[in-house]
Amino acid sequence: MEKLIMLKYGELSTKKDNIGLFLKKLKDNITRILTEEEKVYFDKGRMFIESPNIDNTIKKVSKVFGIHELVMAYKIDTDYDNLKETVKSLVSELNFKTFKVVTKRSDKTYPKTSMEISKEIGGVVLKNVPNIKVDVNNPEITINIEIRSNATYIYMESIKGLGGYPVGTMGKGLLMLSGGIDSPVSGYLAMKRGIKLECIYFESPPHTSLEAKEKVLSLARILKTYNIDMKVHIINLTKIQEAIYKNIPHEYLITILRRMMYRISAIVASKSNCKVLINGESIGQVASQTLTSMSAINEVVNIPVIRPVACFDKLEIIELAKKINTYETSILPFEDCCTIFVPQHPVINPTKEKCLEYEELIPYKELIYEAVKTHEVINIKDENKYEDLL
């Protein structure tokens, strides 16, 4: 009897024609986090992982998007007596009062029907474990049996995967990653839909510190757990921010600054083959996130902008940030370039005309060109071993 991990795909199985592409990506993404002793392979439409340390492997693989359920299965030769003996020995080690047996038979040449097998194996269990009964509606344990021509699988335990699509199946997106709570959560949700991330971070040294940058890199490292590798583009906004501060009416500071961020992000995205921008804007959260503000800011780019947490309230975002382990880092108290030079009364309903008029007051095209040309790229690919992040 061999113990292995069997994967169930969930939503992926709705991809009829191109399911092969999705599964290949899933397998590649899993392979990249396995060690040499661990092996992932397809067998008749299912994916399996063999490992000398199943628990450890499950912990790692449960963070790969595209898996609905990770099942700890026992594999035996397809032979009825063997099946009975194995179930008998497996249940004897368990403590339960109610159970049911569910059988699937993909080998239709097998001499018994699924119903017959469930009933007979149920009888074997009842005979061998004292004081238990069958409960088909709400059993403490479910004994699943899958009979295939080359092998039979028995499983009782599984854990839920993260679902979604394998990262990379939808191409790449550029996440505007600040040190706050919202943008890492947005990045996580985008990856869940199969988008591979690159990140862009805007800093304004010396007004923003090295610690603030380190904090963003720590967040990128946590997100890398789901993304395999991670490129972070760091843009120096100091000159642009100072030019805005000196020349533009202060109520428009944030609106214009964010238009510059969007313009720069769109250029970096196009150079890096990222098809969308992703950010942590949430409707109504701050002055720059009213619908009028968002529209005045968004109009400077053509690339689609995805805002995964746009309709979440802050408590929902925090809950997810805690779940994905970014919260504790996000609340570290370092300033962001959006939090310095903050005007007392930022405009809530900026007009596009005013934005254009004010932007004429600074040589923003040259400044943007320079910021993009001199930007730093940090590749977090091989910095940490995957295990360090668990």
Rounded distance between C-alpha atoms, residue 193 and residue 166, angstroms: 8
List binders of Mg ion among 325-344 (CB under 5 A).
336
Nearer to Mg ion, 122 or 280 (CB): 280
Among residues 178, 225, 241, 293, the one that binds ligand ATP under rule CB under 6 A:
178
In the complex, which residue's CB is closest to Mg ion? 180
Among residues 177, 219, 294, 305, the one that binds ligand ATP under rule CB under 6 A:
177
The answer to whether the beta carbons of residues 59 and 50 sit under 8 Å apart is no
List binders of Mg ion among 141-180 (CB under 5 A).
178, 180
Nearer to ligand ATP, 76 or 286 (CB): 286
The two structure tokens encoding residue 33: 């986090």
Rounded distance between C-alpha atoms, residue 77 and residue 147, angstroms: 10
Nearer to Mg ion, 1 or 342 (CB): 342
Question: How many of the chain's residues bind ligand ATP (CB under 6 A)?
Answer: 19
The entry of Mg ion, ligand ATP, none near residue 182 (CB within 5 to 8 angstroms by kind) is ligand ATP
List binders of ligand ATP among 42-61 (CB under 6 A).
none
The SS3 of residue 172 is: strand
The answer to whether the beta carbons of residues 66 and 106 sit under 8 Å apart is no
Nearer to ligand ATP, 177 or 301 (CB): 177
Rounded distance between C-alpha atoms, residue 321 and residue 330, angstroms: 9
Q: Which residues of 115-131 are buried (b: 16+ CB within 10 A; e: fewer)?
A: eebbeebbebbeeebee
Rounded distance between C-alpha atoms, residue 362 and residue 365, angstroms: 9
The answer to whether the beta carbons of residues 124 and 88 sit under 8 Å apart is yes
Nearer to ligand ATP, 72 or 286 (CB): 286
Nearest-CA neighbor of 190 among 285, 263, 280, 267? Answer: 280
Q: How far is the CB of 212 from ligand ATP (least distance, A)?
A: 8
Neighbours of 331 (CB within 10 A): 13
User: By CB under 6 A, is residue 281 in contact with ligand ATP?
Assistant: yes
The answer to whether the beta carbons of residues 34 and 26 sit under 8 Å apart is no
List binders of ligand ATP among 313-372 (CB under 6 A).
336-338
List binders of Mg ion among 176-235 (CB under 5 A).
178, 180
User: By CB under 6 A, is residue 280 in contact with ligand ATP?
Assistant: yes
Residue given tokens 């020995």 in the structure block: 89
User: By CB under 6 A, is residue 202 in contact with ligand ATP?
Assistant: yes
The entry of Mg ion, ligand ATP, none near residue 288 (CB within 5 to 8 angstroms by kind) is ligand ATP
The residues of the shown chain that bind ligand ATP, judged by CB under 6 A, are: 176-178, 180-183, 200-202, 279-281, 285-286, 288, 336-338
The residues of the shown chain that bind Mg ion, judged by CB under 5 A, are: 178, 180, 336
